[in-house]
Structure formats: C-alpha cells, structure tokens
Structure 1
Amino acid sequence: MFKQVMTAAMGLMLLGAAHSATAAVEVNTQDPYIMMETVANQTFNRFKSDKPKIDADRNYLKVIVEEELMPHVDYRYAGLKAMGRYVKDASAEQRQAFVDAFRAYLITTYADALGSYTDQTIEFAPAKQQDDAKDVRVYVKIVDPGRPDINVEFRLRKQKDDSWKAYDLKAEGVSILRSKTDEFDGLIRQHGLDQFIQMLNEKAAESVQIKQEQGA
C-alpha cells in the first residue's frame, strides 16, 4: 500500500493542477510555488497533446519526464543523499556514476507513475512568504473521488543561481528520499556499490509499466 500511495503521489502531482489546455509558458524558477504549479500544468498538457505517441509507445513517457520534469529536479543532491553512508568512501567516479544511474532511475520511476494517472485532481495550498529561505515545502492535496485524500509535501532547495528545484516528496508524512536511502543501504551492503549502480541502470532501462487500478 505504501508503494502504491507514493507512486500515485508522484504521478498525480506531476500531472497536475488545473487541467488547463494552455500553451507552454516559461517556467518561473525563482518562485518555488509558481514553479511547481506551472510544471504540473505543462506536464499534464504535454500528456494530453502527446497521447497518440504514448499509446503507440509507452516509453515515450520517459521523453516527457526528461523534457518537462527533470530540469526542475535536483537529482544530484537527491542522488548523493540516497547513497547515504557510502558517499563518504566512494570515489569521484563512483559518485558520478551513481548520480547518473539515479537520474535515469528517477525518469523511469516517474514515467511509470505518469502511466497510472486517471482522473484525479490536485489542490495546492496557498503560497507562503519565502524571505531568505533556502529550503521550502510546497503542500498539495490529491483528491480522488471515492477515496481518502492524499496529503503530499514537496521539498525544494534554492540553487546557486536563485532558482528552485525539487529534491524530495513526502506522502502522508513518509519521505521518498528517506525510504529510498534505507532501501539502497541494504542493497549496497549486500551487492557492493559498483554492482548496485549496475542494478540501478538495469532498472532504469526497463520499459514503462502501465499499472491498472486495483480499486484498493
């Protein structure tokens, strides 16, 4: 159930808020709240407009994720965090290989989540004053008729150029980054870092899986 909730939270957030059919607009990366809403809307519009391509090849969802979402994800920061205790002793080459594999893994994970979207909606909480904040939380609620609402919290970091990027998601108080760090820790301990990087790359190379609603 936890995995289902987290996947739904990722996919539904990425697919968006207003369901408008407006043309793509420049993303205001200087405001984390506006950025999240804009990226969500544009991803949803892309999902709709490119549906024939998705129907012909489900892996086209990876293209949408690559082009619409990944520019706004701080995958390097998240990837190094996900290495946990192993980052300290890893070589520079191993750290870069891990980050690259983690990025590819995120693309496939997000693409899988997009393919699970049906007709849910997103409600964004009002923006808060940022002041000199370097890390903010954007709160949203996923509304799915006939099911309990899902409360989601996105964590974003301010970059050196004053833009904002997302690095973590919490669904009902549970952090994806924290859960992945714990999961990866055991697998790296069991297989070694280099072998685990290969495993991540193999997972990332898998075709997009379209999950059918189970009604639970």
Structure 2
Amino acid sequence: MKKLLGVMIFLLSYLFVFPAWSMMEPDRLVDKTVQEVLDIIGKDDKIGEDKERMLDLIENKILPHFNFMRMTSLAMGKHWSSAAPEQKNVLVEEFKTLLVRTYSNALTTYRDETVKVNPIRDLGNKADATVRTIVHQGGGKQPVPIDYSMEKGSDGWKVYDVTVAGVSLVTNYRGSFNSQIRKGGIDGLIKALSDKNRSLEGK
C-alpha cells in the first residue's frame, strides 16, 4: 500500500506550472498528469534507481500542488489549535519531509501500474472535490482504489488528503501523532518527526 500511495503522490505531484493546467477541473488535471507521467516513467528505466534524482524530482514538483498546511492540521486534529505559530511551521516542514522521503523510497520500486481516473459528473461551482482513481497492478493482483481529496484556491486545485483502499493518509497519521503528543507534547511530536526524517535520510 505504501508503494502504491507513493506512486500516486508522485504522479499527481508532477504538474507543469502553467495556468492552463492549474485551472483545469480536478479530474481532468489528475488524468492528464497521470497518463503523461506514466509515459515518462515507462521510458526512463534509470529514474527508479537514482534516489537523489527521485527526491529532487518529487521535492521540486510536489510542493506547489499539495496543501501541506491543511494536511498537517488534519493529521494533528484537535491539537493543531494548541500549537504555537512557530511549532506549526516546523510541524508542516517535518511532515512534508516525512512524506517526501517515505514515498520516494516506495517509488524506486515502481513497475507497470496503470491508472484509471473516474470523471466527476457534477462539479459545478464546488471548491472541494474527490477524484477517484483505480490502480491496476501487474501479476494478477487486485486493483486498488486511490482517492484524492482536493480543494480549489486562487492558484488552482490542491490535494489535502489521499485515501488508499479506504485508508486516509491524514487519519492514519493522526493516531501516531496523538500518541506522540500524549507522551511528550507538541515538542515531543516535532522531535519524533525529526528523528524519523533523519533515519530515512540515512537509508
């Protein structure tokens, strides 16, 4: 599941910074991005073998298109409001680093997945939408649904949660975040995230 989530975060993150892309409806944006990036990865055998190149690619492409502030606040739940502004800034950066490093490792093993993006039938003027996709795996494995919760701002649609086979990324992290906060408060969570990021950096 972690591998699949990493693949989909990467695919969605690889958006070209053009107004025509940023103003696309969310389902069309995801579909266009996924198909183009699948083609790029399929033609570049070495990208999965070069960790630094993969990290650089994700860090440069993912940040403008995911709302990490909202993702972090959702993962923090009720504790977000009790964090000081400086703590919130550090938490966002550490959580962002954790996701990038965790799922860049998963992406290095990407092989032969295909993705179907389901169209949104009635978006209207909504500023919040769920883009539903199905990842078809090789080897006779069962398809896996991956949904993107997205919101529209002045700079286009951004992702604030990813749900893999019914498991929400932010909800999944909320349990571990709450546990760390109970043990050591907000600063304890920051330390735990920082320690985890250092361990991932060394792998």
Query: TM-score by structure 2 length?
Result: 0.83
Do residues 155 (structure 1) and 166 (structure 2) align? no
Looking at structure 2, the residues matched to 162 and 129 of structure 1 have their Cα atoms a distance apart, in angstroms, of 21
Do residues 35 (structure 1) and 21 (structure 2) align? no
> Aligned in 2, Cα 1:194/1:25: closer, same or farther, shift over 3 Å?
closer
> Aligned in 2, Cα 1:64/1:12: closer, same or farther, shift over 3 Å?
same
Partner of 1:202: 195
Alpha-carbon deviation of 1:13?
A: 2.1
- Aligned with 1:116: secondary structure? coil
Is the contact made by 1:43 and 1:68 (CA closer than 8 Å) also made in structure 2? Answer: no
TM alignment of 1:70-89, pairs within 5 A: 70-89=63-82
Q: CA RMSD in A?
A: 2.5
Looking at structure 2, the residues matched to 187 and 34 of structure 1 have their Cα atoms a distance apart, in angstroms, of 39
> Aligned in 2, Cα 1:152/1:41: closer, same or farther, shift over 3 Å?
same
Unaligned residue ranges in structure 1 (runs of 5+): 18-23, 210-216
Is the contact made by 2:70 and 2:160 (CA closer than 8 Å) also made in structure 1? Answer: yes
TM alignment of 1:1-216, pairs within 5 A: 5=1, 7-14=2-9, 16=11, 26=18, 28-30=21-23, 31-44=25-38, 47=41, 52=46, 55=49, 57-145=50-138, 146-159=140-153, 161=154, 163-205=156-198, 206-207=200-201
- Matched pairs, number: 196
Which letter does structure 2 place at the counterpart of 1:9?
A: L
Looking at structure 1, the residues matched to 47 and 155 of structure 2 have their Cα atoms a distance apart, in angstroms, of 35
Which letter does structure 2 place at the counterpart of 1:74?
A: N
Is the contact made by 1:111 and 1:208 (CA closer than 8 Å) also made in structure 2? Answer: no
Shift >6 Å, 4+ stretches: none
Query: TM-score by structure 1 length?
Result: 0.79
- Aligned with 2:110: secondary structure? coil
Unaligned residue ranges in structure 2 (runs of 5+): none
Alpha-carbon deviation of 1:25?
A: 8.1
> Aligned in 2, Cα 1:86/1:79: closer, same or farther, shift over 3 Å?
same
- Aligned with 2:124: secondary structure? coil
Among the aligned pairs, what percent are the same residue?
23
Is the contact made by 2:11 and 2:34 (CA closer than 8 Å) also made in structure 1? Answer: yes
CA deviations 1:26-54 (Å, max 9, x no partner) are: 46122211222333345445546765465
Larger helix share, 1 or 2: 2
Looking at structure 2, the residues matched to 193 and 51 of structure 1 have their Cα atoms a distance apart, in angstroms, of 42
Is the contact made by 1:154 and 1:168 (CA closer than 8 Å) also made in structure 2? Answer: yes
> Aligned in 2, Cα 1:127/1:32: closer, same or farther, shift over 3 Å?
same
> Aligned in 2, Cα 1:85/1:105: closer, same or farther, shift over 3 Å?
same
> Aligned in 2, Cα 1:89/1:14: closer, same or farther, shift over 3 Å?
closer
